[in-house]
């Protein structure tokens, strides 16, 4: 074989041609494109499991609190909101750890209902809300059933210090869930620790339905947690002051008179 032919043969086997490289690169790109949705789904599935686990432990923390305080649910915010602890501080004594209070999908800046916000372990912006209107005592008025002066303009007079024993369906009654900041007209009120039934539509104090793609994670008074697909269509009331889905919110499941 002439020297030049040997040289050419050597060059052909020394590496990839541009065309071969392009074929390899496009195959890799194709594989990534095929694999990505599967991997993304798998990662999201694991984040849902972590979120369920967080909320279950917060739930057990809440139940631990009720054991020490006469079977009464922890307050949503203290009688004086500025000097008394909020529910995350009270529950953290029984379920300690910053990570428990953080949905794994809350990384970096979030945008919900047009407002930007960021998770903080400051007991206000933790992105987990409490069914506080019904379960937790709060600092503003609870109304008076005798005068018809209903609390928060609703037809239900929430009990100031609700008791575990009064929950009719513990496996159905929401305790905590993925939440976003209370907001109205693009204003961020800087509190995401609430799922507030009367104002769910007014201030978006609902179970967040986009945190886990088209789902939100919710725990119930009996200590279990579930991934709720499309919560707006399944558990979040569609309009203020109606009894739609009230069985998931009111421990006594009262209907509009």
Answer yes or no whether residue 218 interacts with Zn ion by CB under 5 A. no
DSSP alpha helices (H): ranges in the chain?
Answer: 3-14, 18-68, 87-92, 132-135, 200-203, 231-234
CB of 104 to Zn ion, least distance (A): 7
Q: Residues 225, 60, 179, CA angle at the centre, nearest 5°?
A: 50
Q: Which stretch binds Zn ion (CB under 5 A): 66-74, 79-87, 101-109, 159-167?
A: 101-109
Q: How many residues does the chain have?
A: 257
Answer yes or no whether residue 217 interacts with Zn ion by CB under 5 A. yes
Residue with smaller CB distance to Zn ion, 159 or 211: 211
Site string for Zn ion, 22-51 (x = CB under 5 A): -----------------------------x
Rule CB under 5 A: choose which of 59, 178, 205, 250 binds Zn ion: 178
Q: Do 90 and 137 meet the contact criterion of CB atoms below 8 Å apart?
A: no
Answer yes or no whether residue 215 interacts with Zn ion by CB under 5 A. no
Please name the residues in contact with 120: beta carbons below 8 A apart, sequence gap of 6 or more: 126
Rule CB under 5 A: choose which of 103, 115, 200, 225 binds Zn ion: 103
Please name the residues in contact with 32: beta carbons below 8 A apart, sequence gap of 6 or more: none
Q: Which residues bind Zn ion (CB under 5 A)?
A: 51, 103, 178, 211, 217
């Amino acid at each position: 074989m002439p020297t030049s032919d040997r040289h050419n043969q050597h060059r052909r086997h020394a590496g990839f041609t541009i065309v071969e490289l392009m074929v390899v690169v496009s195959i890799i790109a194709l594989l990534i494109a095929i694999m990505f949705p599967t991997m993304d789904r798998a990662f999201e599935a694991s984040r849902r499991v972590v979120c369920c686990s967080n909320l279950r432990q917060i739930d057990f923390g809440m139940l631990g609190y009720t054991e020490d305080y006469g079977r009464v649910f922890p307050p949503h915010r203290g009688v004086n909101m500025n000097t008394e602890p909020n529910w995350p501080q009270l529950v953290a004594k029984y379920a300690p750890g910053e990570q428990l209070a953080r949905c794994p999908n809350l990384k970096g800046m979030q945008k919900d209902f047009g407002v930007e916000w960021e998770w903080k372990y400051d007991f206000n912006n933790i992105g987990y809300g409490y069914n506080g209107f019904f379960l937790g005592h709060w600092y503003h008025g609870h109304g008076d059933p005798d005068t018809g002066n209903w609390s928060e303009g609703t037809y239900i007079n929430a009990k100031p210090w609700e008791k575990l024993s009064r929950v009719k369906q513990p496996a159905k009654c929401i305790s905590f869930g993925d939440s976003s900041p209370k907001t109205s007209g693009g204003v961020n009120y800087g509190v995401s620790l609430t799922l507030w039934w009367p104002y769910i539509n007014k201030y978006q104090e609902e179970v967040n339905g986009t945190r886990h793609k088209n789902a939100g994670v919710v725990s119930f008074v009996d200590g279990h947690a579930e991934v709720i697909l499309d919560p707006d269509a399944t558990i979040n009331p569609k309009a203020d002051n109606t009894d739609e889905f009230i069985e998931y919110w009111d421990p006594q499941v009262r209907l509009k008179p």
